Structure 1
Amino acid sequence: MSEQTPGGFFSEVREADGSLDATARVVDPATSDDERVVEAALRPRRLSEFPGQPRVRQQLGLVLEAARRRGSPPDHVLLSGPPGLGKTTLAMIVAAELERPLRVTSGPAIQHAGDLAAVLSSLDEGEVLFLDEIHRMSRSAEEMLYLAMEDFRVDVVVGKGPGATAIPLELPPFTVVGATTRAGLLPAPLRDRFGFTGHLDFYDVADLVTILHRSAGLLGVEADADGVHEIAGRSRGTPRIANRLLRRVRDWAQVHGEGRVDQHAAREALALFDVDQAGLDRLDRAVLEALCRRFGGGPVGLSTLAVAVGEESDTVETVAEPYLVREGYILRTPRGRAATAAAWRHLGLPVPAHQAFQGALPIEDEGPGRFGT
């Protein structure tokens, strides 16, 4: 069973073979690497301190306050959205607001129903169970979780074959907080068992500025408004990226500057780390370069595009594409990926006539693209 450290930080635990430990014990920050400790220290501890996401914050606050007044655990909570927007932070805030312990594990760590049964059977009444990447749980574990979330019991199967028997195990009331970057992969029976679903969207620059000023204060870094705004504008609407860039600008300022995060330090540091004015990094620009220079703007299949930039298809699809699509640099069509007029302009290239209207392409043909599937 987990023990909470004075700092209250939780993290994944890996076995000697690299696999995740489903019991997910609490990790003492003193034993963690510096980067993880810094990220944990920058997390808000209360809902009132959580910047951005006003709709989700208000809805979740209502759910938690009503549960406190009833004196019972709140409904199960599902948080969805791209990586780095605060799903783990909100899970920790739920436990803090309820003043209950937090147990942390993840979908990849639960590959068998027995793994989940071990975690559930050790929960105390009112405890919060955080399941990160819940969409990656095994099917057998999902089916056990259905019953546990709805009836607070699990059936432990003893023996095999005709002599196997199911022993019902009653569980104390608890709250599941699930986090996923791909809510569409969750089976409907599992989604339906969450009483509250919150979708986190990308942050605007003003919210990121607020986050960066708070983080700079916690890090003991002197930062002016222009420097913070420069970082916020290149952070892709993601607090995790904003805080990471702030630490890199701090490093540059301490080594090459005057120790102050100003606009000059921000521009020089971000140029050094290949983050351009629009927040695009090396991989993003490689995707645009391949689309425009090698494939004439597309459409081109994902696998072919991934080979062209020297990355796995999953990396291109989950890391680069969401931001490029959201910002209007590429299109995902039935025939493949295609560059828009904005992509050509960002690279300083003349926009072809057939893409002059924001990259509009004929997409009625649902066959493969010109360059693969």
Structure 2
Amino acid sequence: MSPDDDSVPGGADRLVGAVADGEDLAVEAALRPRDLSEFIGQGRVREQLDLVLAAARARGGTADHVLLSGSPGLGKTTLSMIIAAEMAAPIRITSGPAIQHAGDLASILSSLTEGEVLFLDEIHRMSRPAEEMLYMAMEDFRVDVVVGKGPGATAIPLELPPFTLVGATTRAGLLPPPLRDRFGFTGHMEFYEPAELERVVHRSAGLLSVEVSAEGAAEIASRSRGTPRIANRLLRRVRDYAQVRADGVVNREVAARALEVYEVDARGLDRLDRAVLRALLDLFGGGPVGLSTLAVAVGEERETVEEVAEPFLVREGLLARTPRGRVATPAAWRHLDRTPPAPAAGGQGGLFGT
């Protein structure tokens, strides 16, 4: 389960959530770059992938299988489509959760054409029988289809045309080594720097016919949690505010006022993030406090706090996970303009809950 996965309560409906909703999917189709030269950020992965694809084109063959890992919203789906475009090949898109039986995978593989790109999102959530079938398909371009049951079952070998599998995962550590080893190229997607996100905002603003100043783009980028999908979503909300309550131009002041309305602060924290920090600071003196107790204090499910709010708070250095519980860092006290309490006698803090 990824930090912003749809199956996590509260993961898909946050303005700063990295999971794509229906509106995101529609807009991303229009904003998505078509080739590697248009793709912003991920310089190392982009250069390596360019070499892999150029070599495959020079050989006149299909590209090696590609594994892309990283948090949601960083461009894994976009890169899969660019791979297909660069290889002048069609693309088939599916996901791990949609493949629960080996027969589901066999049906997809048997209908592929030569050179086709198969994009398998959240590949770590595929069923084990399908996963084992994929081993042979990736390595030998062949699958064994089992007909019948019990002693009378027969395995019929089915030859497959050469294809390129592009797997995407938010949890690379959950992939078994035999599957990881069958990918010829593995790229890890990093969070974006603010300057890269500013370029994303400017490019998207041009495609959406939104007038945005350099300062306005910088303000949006600084609150986008290092994720292009969030930057594009915030841009759309700021655009709405500028059209209704300003002159339609997105500058720093307009962007700041708009994102204040949507409860996204200067560091990219939203209501849930700040609720977790306030509870940790105001109710438990900065911790340590158990996760369940903290979740009850903010009125959320344990999984929501752990998998939706905490990853960003930890990455920003505002919260620490320790063996004794969650602890606020000095940066969290400063961000919420609080004064840390004096150390307890002997330097020992209490543990609240479990």
Judge same fold: TM > 0.5, yes or no. Answer: yes
1:15 aligned partner: none
- Residue in structure 1 matching 2:334, options 345, 349, 353: 345
Quote how far apart the aligned CAs of 1:125 are: 0.7
Quick check: 1:217 aligned with 2:206?
A: yes
Quick check: 1:67 aligned with 2:48?
A: no
1:101 aligned partner: 90
Quote how far apart the aligned CAs of 1:226 are: 1.1
Q: 1:138 to 1:254 in 2, by over 3 A?
A: same
1:151 aligned partner: 140
Q: Give me the whole-angstrom Cα distance separating, in 1, the residues matched to 2:264 and 2:83.
A: 34
Quick check: 1:321 aligned with 2:310?
A: yes
Quick check: 1:371 aligned with 2:352?
A: yes
Letter in 2 for 1:192: D
The within-5 A match list for 1:258-297 is 258-297=247-286
**Identity level (%):** 74
1:180 aligned partner: 169
Q: 1:268 to 1:302 in 2, by over 3 A?
A: same
Q: Relative to structure 2, which stretch is displaced further, 172-181 or 297-306?
A: 297-306
Q: Give me the whole-angstrom Cα distance separating, in 1, the residues matched to 2:70 and 2:236.
A: 24
Runs of 5+ unmatched residues, structure 1: 1-31, 356-360, 364-368
Q: Give me the whole-angstrom Cα distance separating, in 1, the residues matched to 2:97 and 2:299.
A: 26
- Residue in structure 2 matching 1:232, options 214, 217, 221: 221
* RMSD of Structure 2 on Structure 1 (CA): 1.9
The within-5 A match list for 1:200-215 is 200-215=189-204
Report which structure shows greater RCO (CA 8 Å, sep ≥6): 2
Q: Give me the whole-angstrom Cα distance separating, in 2, the residues matched to 1:33 and 1:238.
A: 18
Give the number of equivalent residue pairs.
Answer: 332
**TM-score, length basis structure 1:** 0.85
1:307 aligned partner: 296
Q: Give me the whole-angstrom Cα distance separating, in 2, the residues matched to 1:311 and 1:283.
A: 9
**TM-score, length basis structure 2:** 0.90
Letter in 2 for 1:236: R
Q: Give me the whole-angstrom Cα distance separating, in 1, the residues matched to 2:348 and 2:41.
A: 38
Q: Give me the whole-angstrom Cα distance separating, in 2, the residues matched to 1:191 and 1:309.
A: 39
Q: Give me the whole-angstrom Cα distance separating, in 2, the residues matched to 1:305 and 1:335.
A: 13
User: Secondary structure of the equivalent of 1:47?
Assistant: coil
The within-5 A match list for 1:163-202 is 163-202=152-191
Letter in 1 for 2:330: A
State the Cα deviation string for residues 313-338 of structure 1 (Å, max 9, x = none).
Answer: 33333322222111100112223322
Letter in 2 for 1:269: A
The within-5 A match list for 1:78-117 is 78-117=67-106
Quote how far apart the aligned CAs of 1:354 are: 4.4
Quote how far apart the aligned CAs of 1:287 are: 1.4
